[in-house]
Chain A
Amino acid sequence: MIKVGIPRALLYYQYYPMWRTFFEELGAEAIVSPVTSRVMLQEGGARVVADTCLPVKIFIGHVLSLIGNCDFIFIPTIRSIRKNTYNCSKFLGLSAMTRAAVPEAPPILDIMVDVNKGRLRLYQAIYRLGKNFTPYPHKIRQASLDAWRTQLKYRYMMSNRGLTQPQAIAKVLGTSTPESQVESPETKTTIAVIGHPYLLHDDFISHRIIPRLKQANVKVLTPEMLADTTLESAVMKVMGRIQWTCESEIVGAGEHYLRSDVDGVINVMAFGCGPDSLMMDVIRRQATRLRSTPFMNLTIDEHTSEVGIITRLEAFMDMIYRKQRARVAVCG
């Protein structure tokens, strides 16, 4: 059986169930790299230039860990999934960058997804990808339709049942829920954590921010729990049009949660992330203007210490609890 390696980083969190269904339908096996470790960061970071952003360094580390375990590595180039809206440059050059940084890697399966070039090009790209596994076009068609259905189900689970991405992946694929993602009992305080899924749900990058908050009996909301239409309309309200594919995760979710009745909003961004450096400022300005919800920004890089993150989380939570107490005192 052909083994296709999928690095557990970047777009994995958004599309893994879809990819896995596609490859399994075509008779291949999808192999996912293990969870992020310090070794991966060190090895991946040594292959690329120093100011590449943290998630990409870790991505290269995941690719390195897959060498020897698979026949192909799947690195799609998702350029654009909406008209005139593009992904960050690092996603566009990801397969080329991996090829340059890891020359010893197994052959890279690359699929170019760009809706600006029309439907036909997209279908051609899918068939070209499928040709690696089967010569029959109808099989590829069936596999891609099934994959798309899985993706819709996956998206529905997150937006309508309030699951986070790792939880939804576990549910869709029928594996057990990771321990750190188990729901906490009903609580009074709700915190929205906004940021890209590959930061929030990678326990190594985010220093387990979400599990930590849940441990403190806080209900955590994340961007994927909102429907796409909600996110897009929120972005349009603030910025007028959408520039980046990932913009809805920050600006859309930020705007929505700042106006909803959450007790606080935490933004997680990676140091050196281009889109985030501007989008975070848009949301910070919005928070300052609205003056309704406490807002904190956490910038993370490979030198960020866990203790620093904990201290800031504690201080932020203390502030929110104090605010709640004050409100109760006024009402009483």
Chain B
Amino acid sequence: MRVSFPTMGDYWVFTKAIFDKLASELVVPPPVSQRTLTLGVKYSPEGACLPFKITLGSMIEALELGADTIIMPGNYGPCRFGYYHRLQEEILRDLGYKFQMINESMGIRRMAASIFKGSRLSEFLPGLIFSLAKLKLLDELPHTLYRIRAIEQEVGSATRIYKDTLKPLDKAKSYRELRQVKKEYLKKLGSIPTRSSDGVVKVGITGEIYVVLEPFANMEIEIELGKLGVEVRRPISLWEFVSNFNPLVIAFGLGERRRCYRAARPYLSCHIGGDGWQSVGEKVLHAKDWHGMVHLEPFGCLPETVARNIMSKTKEELPVLNLIYDEHTGKAGVISRLEAFVDMIRRQKRKPAEGKRSNLTGGRAHGSLSRH
């Protein structure tokens, strides 16, 4: 059995770790590219959202590489995501691919049985815990990266170190190796020549989870913000999502997600599917400690459209830039809007110090345009 997952960001490291101890072989689809998107767009219904199109394209690329089984998560709920796998299965079958689709609709027990077929539980369970440790590390690594990226002297050096770390992280087979990878990564990042950190603004990224986590889908927004001297904060990650199922986190109301829900309660009191509730909460919760927020969503996203309607009317004030992605979004458009947004935040931040009659065109150059 050759199993494959649609790709999302760097999480192929995690899925590879899971399948390390399983009898079935994992086919890692290539990173999302223009070809993936084009394939997806060609066979998707036109009104479907961007993650649908990209994951469909990713599935086609995996099937081309010889996968015969596809695992696509799905759930009950108002978001379209729960519906993806059923329509995608139909589309792929109509295209003539022969494969098996594993998802929750066949029942958790049968689903688990078909994935674990031929592998021993005593081997698999420690492997699963180890892969979760990798997932946690995948969540931790970028946070230092965001801080360094905003103040590095040579643009792109921090990103290069992060990308180079993924390979040893993927190869690591023990907890000791994981610690070593982390230590080395932090050491390398620490040795990058940096500028002074004043003038750095903190901008949070939130929104629909796939667009936030897949760099191709969001036009590498984290890197672009880093280039503008912005320290990115990104509370959403797969680890954060998984840790939500931890009973301790649920019982004590811990975790970013629960805190967001509590914060959003005056404006939105129930789950509206996807990450809509969290997006509203993120703005309320971080109105004090962030300078701005970038809210990402695929075009036509149901929960995020509702969230955007509510978000703009909260009492807590925080500049929010809404970026809506579909297959026609151009990178240049995204960059110029980010520049304008960051300039606006800087100007707002300077205002109290310089008084109301500050000269907006003169004075210190913020260097946003000169760095491109």
Question: Which residues of A come within 8 Å of B, CB atoms?
Answer: 48-49, 51-53, 77, 79, 84-93, 96-97, 99-101, 103, 112, 239-241, 243-244, 271-278, 280-282, 284-285, 299
Contacts and interface: CB of A to CB of B under 8 A. Distances in A.
A87 B78 contact: yes
Given A87-B78, A278-B45, A278-B87, 8 more contacts: A51-B299, A86-B77, A93-B307, A101-B309, A103-B313, A274-B80, A277-B46, A277-B80
B105 A93 contact: no
B270 A77 contact: yes
Contacts of B76: 84-86, 243
Contact of A49 (B48, B267, B309): B309
A240 B47 contact: no
Counting chain B CB atoms within 10 Å of each CB, the highest count among A88, A91, A271, A272 belongs to A88
28 contacts: A49-B308, A49-B309, A49-B312, A77-B270, A86-B273, A89-B78, A89-B272, A89-B306, A90-B306, A92-B272, A93-B306, A100-B313, A101-B309, A101-B313, A239-B86, A243-B76, A243-B83, A244-B83, A274-B300, A275-B83, A275-B302, A277-B46, A277-B80, A278-B87, A280-B47, A281-B87, A282-B87, A284-B45
Interface in B54-95: 76-80, 82-83, 86-87, 90-91, 94
Contacts of A273: 47
Specify which of B46, B105, B274, B300 lies most central, judged by the most chain A CB atoms within 10 Å of its CB: B300
A185 B87 CA distance: 40
A96 B310 contact: yes
A240 B324 CA distance: 32
Contacts of A100: 267, 309-310, 312-313
Give the size range of B's interface with the partner.
35 or more
A97 B301 CA distance: 15
Contact of B300 (A87, A92, A277, A281): A277
Interface string B264-284: 000111111110100000000
Contacts of A272: 47, 300
Interface of B: 45-49, 52, 76-80, 82-83, 86-87, 90-91, 94, 105, 267-274, 276, 299-303, 305-310, 312-313, 322, 324
Contacts of A85: 76
A79 B277 CA distance: 15
Contacts of A103: 313
Contacts of B83: 243-244, 275, 278
Contacts of B79: 89
Contacts of A90: 302, 305-306
A320 B43 CA distance: 28
Contacts of B77: 86
Contacts of A79: 270
Nearest to A271: B47
B105 A285 contact: no
A278 B48 contact: yes
B90 A93 contact: no
B270 A112 contact: yes
A112 B271 CA distance: 12
A150 B308 CA distance: 37
A277 B48 contact: yes
Contact of B45 (A93, A97, A277): A277
